[in-house]
């Protein structure tokens, strides 16, 4: 996002008369929003598969030191700490799936895909605990019924259900009949402080454009499926940013836009929480040396992994908090540029595909699909999706294509879900004549949410 020329003209704030007085409405074009949703899916997949190249290569241990720096970009990939390379790339660089091949699903995108599908399947604006449990059991393999998977052509096949830490424990509990939020209580799920929820629930912010209060309502149970306490607040932080991306001031620079989004989301964090203190620390480090992300990353490593500051004791590289700190490094130093943000996120360390996927999705949404392609100077790229790489029991939406779905279909289903969110939860309306949503936003002023008139329309 090097400048604003790729940003879509999306919204208008105005005041209209109604029986009870003056009502402030947010007007959003569904056609524009659909382009943004396609940008979300494309940006997230580019970032996910780029970040996977360096996933767990550098986790701050003696065996994996030193951390990557900018000098490592373009160099041969190194083994992850478990001793393997990735099969899809040999060097540390951006990864793009060619047009004739689908993007493979991964845990950074496939559970969001499942939640999107479940909303549409059940025609609901808010998933119930039972719908979440039944969806997980139907669409996510167990540890015993998963098919054999080969990471490399010459590697030994092994059973792989593509679930780890808190996600894996939550599914085990669901098999026993448990439903959210019980699946995230520490007494049931000792992994509930891990990263899982922050990479599976960002989409709920996009299902509630401009209304983080509603976004947090519909994201509550999905987040509580796997996250508790600090990890819960981290996931909420990302949901709020994605919701507010619809009302960011497009006259500001990309750097100002992303900083505003982060500040608004941080305002909702408990001020005595480790999450909030980590946010403030990374922000302060960025302000001290904005041109050196590596210094900020090294400060994060010293303060949190080695020293255990601000009430956080590092456990493992899947911790929600160490990865939250790492994600902020790439967000602040990336300064709203999707290319630079993903690059830094891939080099910063720890579970590097997760923060990159989060910011690739958010910035991809802000740019729209055409803006993503222009930012990466792409003439063509895959826009189809292969959900059955990792999950099961979804219909083939694109029988004439490889993969089961594409970004156009995925965006369209999300638009239909947002219709329900707007009319049922926001008490707004769909204006059929110009295919727009009219969303009441009066209550947002009480939460110091900045709303503006978009003069570019």
**Distance (Å, rounded) from C-alpha 142 to C-alpha 405?**
23
pTM score over 0.85? yes
Q: State the first-to-last Cα distance of the chain, in angstroms, to the nearest integer.
A: 20
We report the CATH number of the domain holding residue 278 as 1.10.4080.10
Alpha helices in 301-453 (DSSP H): 320-334, 338-347, 353-375, 407-420
**Is 453:442 a contact under the CB 8 Å cutoff?**
no
Domain assignment of residue 340, yes or no: yes
Please report which confidence band the pLDDT of residue 153 belongs to, taking 50, 70 and 90 as the band edges: low
Residues 72-92: b if buried by 16+ CB within 10 A, e if exposed: beeeebeebeeeebbeebeeb
Q: What is the pLDDT of residues 290-328, one digit of tens each?
A: 999 999 999 999 999 999 999 999 999 999 999 999 999
The whole domain housing 396 covers 31-128+194-424
Domain assignment of residue 376, yes or no: yes
Phi/psi-derived region of residue 312, left when phi > 0, alpha when psi is between -120 and 50, beta in every other case? beta
Predicted pLDDT at 2? 41
Which segments within 19-99 are labelled E, that is strand? Answer: 21-29
Mean pLDDT of the chain: 92
**Is 13:452 a contact under the CB 8 Å cutoff?**
yes
| Residue predicted with more confidence, 451 or 201 | 201
Q: What is the pLDDT of residues 436-457, one digit of tens each?
A: 999 998 655 444 443 332 222 2
Please report which confidence band the pLDDT of residue 149 belongs to, taking 50, 70 and 90 as the band edges: confident
Phi, psi of 2 (to 5 degrees): -70, -25
Two tokens, residue 416: 């239909």
Two tokens, residue 32: 């524009």
Two tokens, residue 355: 């923060």
CA angle (110 as vertex; 50, 47 as ends), nearest 5: 15
Query: Please, what sign has the CA dihedral across residues 270, 275, 279, 284?
Result: positive
Domain assignment of residue 77, yes or no: yes
Structural domains of the chain, count: 1
Distance of CA 361 to CAs 18, 105, 206, 428, Å?
37, 14, 10, 26
Distance of CA 421 to CAs 364, 418, 429, Å?
22, 5, 10
Phi, psi of 430 (to 5 degrees): -100, 125
Domain assignment of residue 362, yes or no: yes
The yes-or-no verdict on residue 28 having pLDDT over 60 is: yes
Two tokens, residue 37: 């949703």
**Is 113:41 a contact under the CB 8 Å cutoff?**
no
Distance of CA 318 to CAs 164, 228, 382, Å?
9, 15, 30
* Residue from 398, 415, 406, 341 nearest 372 by CA: 341
Q: What is the pLDDT of residues 230-259, one digit of tens each?
A: 999 999 999 999 999 999 999 999 999 999
Domain assignment of residue 282, yes or no: yes
* Residue from 252, 151, 235, 156 nearest 193 by CA: 235
Domain assignment of residue 318, yes or no: yes
DSSP 3-state assignment of 100? Answer: coil
**Is 204:167 a contact under the CB 8 Å cutoff?**
no
Domain assignment of residue 67, yes or no: yes
Two tokens, residue 260: 């505003």
Please report which confidence band the pLDDT of residue 151 belongs to, taking 50, 70 and 90 as the band edges: confident
Domain assignment of residue 264, yes or no: yes
Q: What is the pLDDT of residues 259-276, one digit of tens each?
A: 999 999 999 999 999 999
**Distance (Å, rounded) from C-alpha 73 to C-alpha 164?**
28
């Amino acid at each position: 996002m090097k400048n604003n020329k790729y940003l879509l003209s999306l919204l208008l704030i105005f005041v209209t008369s109604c029986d009870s007085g003056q009502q402030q409405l947010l007007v959003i074009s569904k056609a524009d929003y659909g382009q943004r949703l396609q940008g979300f899916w494309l940006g997230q997949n580019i970032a996910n598969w780029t970040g996977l190249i360096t996933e767990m290569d550098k986790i701050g241990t003696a065996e994996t030191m030193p951390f990557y720096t900018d000098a490592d970009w373009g160099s041969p990939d190194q083994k992850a700490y478990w001793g393997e390379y990735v099969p899809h790339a040999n060097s540390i660089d951006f990864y793009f799936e060619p047009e004739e091949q689908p993007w493979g699903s991964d845990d950074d995108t496939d559970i969001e895909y499942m939640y999107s599908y479940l909303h549409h399947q059940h025609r609901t604006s808010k998933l119930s605990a039972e719908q979440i449990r039944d969806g997980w059991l139907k669409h996510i393999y167990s540890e015993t019924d998963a098919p054999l998977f080969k990471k490399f052509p010459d590697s030994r096949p092994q059973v792989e259900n593509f679930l780890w830490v808190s996600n894996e424990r939550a599914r085990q509990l669901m098999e026993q009949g448990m439903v959210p939020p019980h699946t995230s209580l520490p007494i049931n799920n000792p992994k509930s402080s891990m990263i899982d929820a922050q990479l599976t629930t960002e989409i709920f912010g996009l299902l509630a454009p401009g209304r983080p209060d509603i976004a947090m309502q519909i994201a509550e149970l999905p987040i509580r499926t796997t996250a508790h306490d600090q990890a819960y607040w981290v996931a909420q932080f990302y949901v709020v940013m994605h919701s507010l991306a619809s009302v960011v001031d497009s006259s500001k620079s990309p750097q100002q836009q992303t900083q505003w989004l982060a500040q608004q989301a941080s305002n909702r964090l408990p001020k005595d929480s480790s999450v909030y203190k980590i946010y403030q620390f990374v922000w302060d480090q960025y302000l001290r040396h904005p041109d050196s992300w590596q210094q900020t990353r090294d400060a994060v490593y010293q303060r949190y992994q080695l020293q255990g500051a601000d009430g956080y004791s590092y456990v493992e590289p899947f911790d929600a908090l160490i990865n939250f700190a790492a994600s902020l490094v790439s967000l602040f130093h990336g300064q709203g540029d999707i290319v630079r943000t993903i690059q830094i996120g891939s080099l910063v360390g720890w579970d590097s595909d997760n923060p990159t996927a989060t910011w690739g999705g958010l910035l991809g949404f802000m740019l729209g699909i055409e803006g993503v392609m222009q930012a990466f100077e792409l003439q063509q790229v895959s826009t189809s999706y292969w959900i059955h790489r990792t999950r099961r029991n979804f219909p083939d939406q694109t029988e004439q294509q490889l993969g089961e779905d594409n970004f156009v279909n995925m965006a369209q289903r999300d638009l239909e879900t947002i219709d329900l969110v707007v009319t049922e939860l926001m008490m707004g309306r769909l204006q059929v004549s110009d295919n727009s949503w009219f969303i009441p936003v009066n209550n947002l002023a009480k939460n110091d949410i900045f709303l503006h008139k978009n003069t570019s329309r």
